[in-house]
Amino acid sequence: MREPYRRRRIDSPPRWTRFKPAGIPRRRLAQTILSVDEYEAIRLADHLGLEHLEASRLMGISRPTFTRVVEKARHKVAKSLVEGRELIISGGNFSLVRTLFRCRDCGDVTPGHSESKPAACPECESDDLEDLARRVRPNDARPTGETKK
Ligand SMILES: [Zn+2]
């Protein structure tokens, strides 16, 4: 039975959304798009080393779905590394639990919520803070094959 459509829960936006091989102009590179939910699956399973069951619960999806997502994500990362592609983290089916504010002056990153942006960086007191949630947008479309009832 198909799971009911719902957005996958992501803890916070990725700090970096573009990676490329050094020294090669972007126009000469093929691109791979890693969705934000695929990024989160790699972060939970491979960076934090969580079991798939625990990671799937954090994202609000079933364990088999998590396993499919993380396998697809690993394939994309491997393809980018081996073939020297530009890797862009963008789109996907997700909602953010919180955001991160990055200071454009010192680079410090502070968790928070978009509705209550801090007035200043806790590290250097600069007011030039970027809301990283604004760099990633979920796709509006429902997954392929999903129909409204
Ligand atoms: Zn700062």
CA–chain centroid gap for 61, Å, is 16
State mean pLDDT over 16-39.
96
Instruction: Give residue 3's pLDDT band: very low, low, confident or very high (50, 70, 90).
Output: low
Residues 6+ apart with CB under 8 A from 143: 5, 93
Q: Do 44 and 55 touch, CB atoms closer than 8 A? A: yes
Q: Please give the distance, rounded to the nearest whole angstrom, from the Cα atom of residue 30 to the centre of ligand 1.
A: 35
Instruction: Give residue 139's pLDDT band: very low, low, confident or very high (50, 70, 90).
Output: confident
Rg (CA), the chain: 17
Give pLDDT, residue 140.
74
Instruction: Give residue 15's pLDDT band: very low, low, confident or very high (50, 70, 90).
Output: very high
Q: Please give the distance, rounded to the nearest whole angstrom, from the Cα atom of residue 106 to the centre of ligand 1.
A: 4
Percent of the chain past pLDDT 90, that is, above it, reads 85
Angle (nearest 5°) at CA 93 between 89 and 94: 85
pLDDT tens-digit series, residues 90-111: 999 999 999 999 999 999 999 9
Q: Please give the distance, rounded to the nearest whole angstrom, from the Cα atom of residue 120 to the centre of ligand 1.
A: 8
Q: Please give the distance, rounded to the nearest whole angstrom, from the Cα atom of residue 82 to the centre of ligand 1.
A: 36
State mean pLDDT over 14-43.
96
Written as one letter, the residue type at 124 is C
Q: What is the C-alpha separation between 18 and 39, in angstroms, rounded?
A: 12
Q: Please give the distance, rounded to the nearest whole angstrom, from the Cα atom of residue 101 to the centre of ligand 1.
A: 10
Q: Please give the distance, rounded to the nearest whole angstrom, from the Cα atom of residue 131 to the centre of ligand 1.
A: 13
